[in-house]
Structure 1
Amino acid sequence: GRTRNVGGAVRLVSCKTGYGLGSLLGKVRSLAEERNNCDVYVVGAANAGKSTLINQILDRNDERKLAYRLGKKKLKRRAGNANARKGDVTVSPLPGTTLKFIKVDLGNGIDLYDTPGLLVPGTLTQRLTPAELKLVVPKKEVEPVTFRVASGKCVL
């Protein structure tokens, strides 16, 4: 098959800090406007961070007081997630959390869609049962620890 360039340059972003988000949104908006305000879909593997990216976009839209809507009803706060705000897209370390397309209004007639993750064959999350996933997925942020190991010693 023949491919065509549909977006141009890669944009580096951090969903944790918001770094690069302005550049990404600017490119998304300009591409959508060039195509008569076409819809934009966030697509990728399960647990790649699509919903986290959408929440960063919602935060930025809130700060700039842009209206957004999520289908006909607002999303509810995820149970047990103290950092979640009303209207956030649900985020979870378990694959399959986003079950349907979720529409976010970017303004100017441009809609952005959060999509369910693609299941990639052969990945660890595909090989484990839901019960096994719950055992191995971290329940809170992991804090790094540094060990200084003397010559001839080891850490197991």
Structure 2
Amino acid sequence: MTAADINNDSKRCFGCGAALQSGDTAKPGFVPASALKAETAICKRCFRIRHYNEISTVTVDQNAFVQLLSSIADTDSLVVAIADIFDFEGSLISGLHRFIGRNPVLLVANKMDLLPKGLNWNRILNWVQQQAKAQGLKVEGVALCSAKRNVGFERVVERIDQLRKGRDVYVVGATNVGKSTLINRLIRDYSDMDAELTTSPIPGTTLDAVRIPLEDGKAVIDTPGIVYPHRLTEVVPKRVLSKLMPDKPVKPLVYQLQEKQTLFFGALARFDFVQGEPQSFTCYVSNSIKVHRTKLEKADALYAEHKGGLLSPPDSEEWNELPPLARHRLFIPKGKKADVYVSGLGWIAVNGESGAELSLHLPEGVKYAVRDRLI
């Protein structure tokens, strides 16, 4: 589906964007034949996600997504790029401007409700601007919000109004950054439509573009989330997502470590303080993730014996679904105020400035980085 198709195809599920059909119950977009006449019908899959919290196994066609994203360059539109502040680097679309041409970009950092309370939002805003620039993303504006909690949403709408100038608005982002939740806020507050997009903690809920008409004849278009396999949320068993993805403000965990000590984050990741002066490290991860401290010399044996038990999630029936852990060596220079960031998990703030040699053990392919401190 391209940008041109969006205006021509009305027989689509309003929840996920899949083409509606009544011929095959196993394929996306199935509805009973009688429901095809409804103006804002939702498919069987969306119905079961909404009412039964069912886990869907349907995946997004990433080639079709790239085709849709690339076709935006042929339009005159405002592009709203949604990023997850809790997984900022992992949720940005790499090389966005290659797809959207010269269309202006508003960057919205969503899920601010997950950060500890009492933070200075202006400092977070400056950090987002600097990180976006470092990632090569040129933006016309930046806004912070929590669409779920309706915090900062007025500022997002204000910036959209300032930048839209009578154009369509394309909302893009990786899976589970909160695109559909944000658009549902727009529908509730600024549209008379009696329908909502389907939301779910399971990646890939939106299967195709969904067009929401505006009063001036233009539209907001929700696009499927691009799947980045470098995010831990994409490689864990789906049953682990509810623990891995926080749904309330994280409680920072501070550990005073000596060199040759290790922190396990369930059986999902391992952090080694290999060498350096004693110092503290602050962990920002979901409150449901159990952190276990041990000596480095015992770490391998502890993981082999207790993964899926003492070290969980995943539990004993799920841990073998993870890719094997790969070791990565990191060096924090003296004077550097740094975060060790793991896509989909969170980050560990290095509080000392005396330098440190560290190791990360992550499922193969998961993205990590040393970055400037967020908090």
What is the TM-score normalised by the length of structure 2?
A: 0.28
- Residue of structure 2 in register with 1:57 after alignment: 186
Give distance in 2, aligned partners of 1:52 and 1:58.
Answer: 10
For 1:113, the aligned partner's letter is: I
Q: Which residue of 1 aligns with 2:241?
A: 137
1:144 to 1:136, Cα distance in 2 relative to 1, 3 A: same
The corresponding residue for 1:10 is 142
Identity across the alignment (%): 39
Shift of 1:120: 1.2
**How far apart are residue 106 of structure 1 and its match?**
2.9
Q: Give the 3-state SS of the residue equivalent to 1:138 in structure 2.
A: helix
Q: 1:15 to 1:46 in 2, by over 3 A?
A: same
Higher relative contact order (CA 8 A, sep 6+): 1
Q: 1:67 aligns with which of 175, 187, 192?
A: 192
Inter-partner Cα distance in structure 1 for 2:181 and 2:222: 10
CA contact (8 A) 2:203 2:234 kept: no
* 2:174 aligned partner: 45
Q: Distance in 2 between matches of 1:5 and 1:143?
A: 34
- Equivalent-residue separation in structure 1 for 2:214 and 2:187 (angstroms): 9
Structure-1 separation of matches of 2:154 and 2:233? 32
Cα-Cα RMSD: 3.4
Q: For residues 11-59 of structure 1, what are the alpha-carbon distances to aligned partners after superposition, in whole Å with 9 as ceiling and x for unaligned?
A: 11111232222222222133222xxx22111100101110111111112
Runs of 5+ unmatched residues, structure 1: 69-85, 147-154
Q: Does 1:21 align with 2:153?
A: yes
Higher strand share: 2
* Letter paired with 2:153: L
**Native 8 Å contact 1:29 1:110 kept in 2:** no
Q: Which residue type is aligned with residue 241 of structure 2?
A: V
1:55 maps to a residue whose letter is N
In structure 2, relative to structure 1, the CA distance for the partners of 1:22 and 1:106 (3 Å cut) is farther
Shift in CA distance, 21/106, structure 1 to aligned 2, threshold 3 Å? farther
The amino acid across from 2:189 in the alignment is R
Which structure has the greater CA radius of gyration?
A: 2
Q: Which has the higher helix share?
A: 2
How far apart are the structure 2 equivalents of 1:145 and 1:111?
35
* Conserved 8 A contact 1:32-1:110: no
Corresponding residue pairs, total = 123
